[in-house]
Amino acid sequence: MARKYKTIGIIGASLPSLLFAKKYSKSFNIKLFEKTENIGGAWRNINHGNKSIEAGCHLIATKNESESDDIKNFFFKEYSIRLHVPNKKELIYDSLDWKNNNKAGPPLIPDRGWNFFSYEISRRVLVKKNIELISCYEVSNWDVNSSSCISVDGRSEFIDHLVIPAYSSFYPEEFGHQHRAGVENIHLIGNWSSRKSFDVKLKQFFLESDKDALIDRLSFQSINKKMTNGYFVARIGRNSKEKVGNLSRTELDFSLKRLTKDESLTCGDFSVLRYKHLFPSIDMRLALSLKFPLDSTQKLWYLNTGYLGDFIYENLIYNS
C-alpha cells in the first residue's frame, strides 16, 4: 500500500531544523536526527544551577526593514512569540561589523528573552504528531540505494529525502574538504547580581572593535522583578581564548563591571562552554542555499542556516 506521506530526515535538532520541520510537517513525516541529548543547536538552553539559560549570544539580524517586519510577523503568527527592534539600551555595539554580510536591516530580539524563545519553539514543534525526534543518533552515512540514514553505531532509518543544515558535521564526501576546520567559540555562562537595578530585562553587547578584548559579545538578562540579578553569556574574544583555563572570577568581574558600567555588579559561578564547528565558508553556505519544493524528487537537500533571519526569510517566508 502506498504511504500517505513521504519522510524527510533532517540532520540535527537545531532551531532552524525545528522551524523547517514544522513548516514541512503539513505535507511530510519528519525525522529529526540529533547526535546529542539537547535540542536547539547553537540556540539551545542549558541548565546552570537550577535555571535554564540560553547558551549563546543572540541577535536576529535582517537584510532590510521589510524582511525584519516579515520575520516579526512570522514568529507572531506561527509561534505567538513577540519580537521587537532593540532600543539603544538593549543593544550596545562599538562597531558595525555585525551588519556585514547583508545584515544591514533592523535586528530583532524577543520581548520575553531568548530562553523563552527557544523553549516555546521546541515545545510547539515537538508536539506535532508527524514530527519524530530521534536523539543520540549521530548520522554517519546516507545510503542512496536503500534510502536510509545510518548512525555511527549502525542503526538505520528509512527516509525519502535528507536535509543537511549548513553547520551539521555530516557532509557527503563531495563537500568534505570544503569545511573550515577547527573554529572554536568559547562562551562563559554564569550568574550576576548588583546593588543597582538594571535598566532593561535583556541586553545584548556586540563589542568587536578590540580584537584583544577578553569578551567580544555579551548577553545579559535580569530574572527578578527588581532587575538586580540574572545571568549572562559572554563570548571570549578571538585573541583571549587561551586565557580561559586560568581565568579568575576577579578578572571576569572586572570586565563585566566595565562593560555594563555598573561598579556594584558581581558575577557568581560560571561555566565554560565550547562550540566546535566544522562550518563551511560564507561562499559555501550561499552555494548550499537551496529551497525545498514540495514536489521534489531530489534526495539530498542543503540548507543555508548561517544566519537565522536569512534562513527564515529565504526558506520559510519567501518560499511559502
Site residues, ligand FAD (CB under 6 A): 11-17, 33-36, 41-43, 56, 58-59, 61, 138-139, 165-170, 185, 275, 305, 307-309
Q: Where do the H-state alpha helices sit in 209-301?
A: 249-260, 282-287
Please state the closest distance from residue 19 (CB atom) to ligand FAD, in A.
Answer: 10
Amino acid found at 304: N
Pick the closer one to ligand FAD by CB: 169 or 296. Answer: 169
Please state the closest distance from residue 139 (CB atom) to ligand FAD, in A.
Answer: 4
Pick the closer one to ligand FAD by CB: 136 or 294. Answer: 136
Please state the closest distance from residue 279 (CB atom) to ligand FAD, in A.
Answer: 7
Pick the closer one to ligand FAD by CB: 218 or 265. Answer: 218
Which grid coordinates belong to 264?
Answer: 556594584
Please state the closest distance from residue 4 (CB atom) to ligand FAD, in A.
Answer: 26
Pick the closer one to ligand FAD by CB: 200 or 228. Answer: 200
Non-local (6+) Cβ contacts of 76 within 8 A are: 82, 83
Pick the closer one to ligand FAD by CB: 138 or 253. Answer: 138
Non-local (6+) Cβ contacts of 300 within 8 A are: 142, 161, 162, 164, 172
Q: By three-state DSSP, how is residue 254 classified? A: helix
Please state the closest distance from residue 138 (CB atom) to ligand FAD, in A.
Answer: 4
Q: What is the DSSP string of 113-167?
A: -HHHHHHHHHHHHHTSTTEEEE-S--EEEEETTTTEEEETTS-EEE-SEEEEETT
Inter-CA distances, 59 with 30, 31, 105, 175, Å: 28, 28, 12, 29
Pick the closer one to ligand FAD by CB: 103 or 265. Answer: 103
As to burial, measured by CB atoms within 10 angstroms (0-12 exposed, 13-18 middle, 19+ buried), residue 4 is: exposed
Please state the closest distance from residue 230 (CB atom) to ligand FAD, in A.
Answer: 19
Residue whose beta carbon is closest to ligand FAD: 12
